[in-house]
């Protein structure tokens, strides 16, 4: 790989270009801002005999949130109090909602597909004013202290980050005679392929302010055409005083 990278670098060094009429020798890396594009065009001409690859990377933030979408998956994000009462948090589906500082809620994510099987990744990005409650209280997404909550397929992997909750699922079964996979408790399990899963975790409102409530997403890691996301809303956290 190093030799290949060196060969590509040497090849790029032989490039003969002109940039807006001015000659340029070798590889060209040029950042372009919105103001540059508005003021004048950037014209790059290949003056050499060898073909040149042009790679354009665009970095930015959308002016408006992307709408909810469902392509091969559905994803539902709901919130409950710790005793199991559903909370109408409109920001979870694209609206606006308000919480009080120090309020604790259970986030429940339900994903489903028309097809069974797949390596599934669920990501729920948090509003900046929320943080995940002590993950030690949660065993692989199954909240043991909340009897009313029944999860389904246990995730193969969970990650409790500052800005998001991540869960990975194996929707493939083990009914073809293979040795059963180990579940989150370390026990062998034999099951058929599945097409849905439920996972949950606890969040606390910590920082007063008005924040974007990002969408939750689900995707098949090996089939990028299958994915879904919720709407993005706005969450206000009011001070407890």
Looking at per-residue pLDDT, the higher value among 57 and 123 belongs to: 123
* Residue 10 pLDDT greater than 90, yes or no: no
| Confidence category of residue 148, pLDDT binned at 50, 70, 90 | low
Residues 210, 233: contact at Cβ < 8 Å?
Answer: no
- pLDDT number for residue 151: 65
Would you list the domain boundaries of the chain?
A: 2-46, 69-238
- pLDDT number for residue 105: 94
Three-point CA angle 200, 201, 207, nearest 5°: 140
Looking at per-residue pLDDT, the higher value among 199 and 135 belongs to: 199
- pLDDT number for residue 176: 44
May I ask the CATH class of domain 69-238? Answer: mainly beta
* Residue 140 pLDDT greater than 50, yes or no: no
5-9, 13-17, 144-148, 204-208: the lowest-pLDDT one: 144-148
At which residue do the structure tokens 């689900």 appear? 218
Q: What is the dihedral sign for C-alpha 149, 153, 158, 162?
A: negative
Q: Which segments of the chain are extended strands (E)?
A: 16-19, 22-25, 44-46, 69-71, 73-80, 86-87, 96-100, 104-113, 119-125, 130-132, 157-160, 164-170, 181-182, 188-189, 196-205, 209-213, 216-220, 223-229, 233-238
Average of per-residue pLDDT across 13-32: 86
120 token code pair = 């599934």
């Amino acid at each position: 790989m190093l030799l290949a990278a060196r060969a590509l670098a040497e090849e790029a060094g032989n490039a003969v270009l002109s940039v807006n009429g001015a000659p340029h020798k070798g590889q060209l890396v040029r950042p372009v801002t919105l103001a540059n594009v508005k003021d004048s065009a950037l014209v790059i001409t290949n003056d050499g005999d060898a073909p040149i690859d042009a790679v354009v990377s665009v970095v930015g933030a959308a002016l408006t949130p992307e709408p909810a979408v469902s392509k091969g998956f559905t994803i539902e994000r709901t919130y409950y109090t710790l005793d199991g009462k559903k909370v109408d948090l409109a920001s979870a589906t694209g609206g606006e909602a308000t919480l009080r500082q120090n309020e604790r809620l259970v986030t429940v994510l339900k994903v489903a597909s028309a097809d069974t099987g797949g390596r599934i990744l669920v990501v729920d990005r948090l509003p900046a004013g929320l943080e995940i409650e002590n993950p030690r209280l949660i065993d692989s997404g199954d909240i043991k202290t909340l009897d009313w909550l029944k999860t389904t397929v246990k995730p193969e992997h969970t990650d409790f980050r500052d800005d998001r909750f991540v869960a990975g699922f194996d929707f493939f079964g083990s009914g073809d005679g293979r040795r059963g996979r180990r579940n989150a408790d370390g026990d062998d399990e034999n099951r058929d392929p599945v097409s849905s899963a439920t996972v949950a975790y606890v969040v606390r409102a910590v920082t007063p302010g008005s924040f974007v409530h990002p969408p939750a997403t689900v995707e098949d890691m090996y089939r990028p055409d299958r994915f879904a996301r919720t709407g993005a809303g706005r969450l206000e956290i009011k001070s407890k005083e």
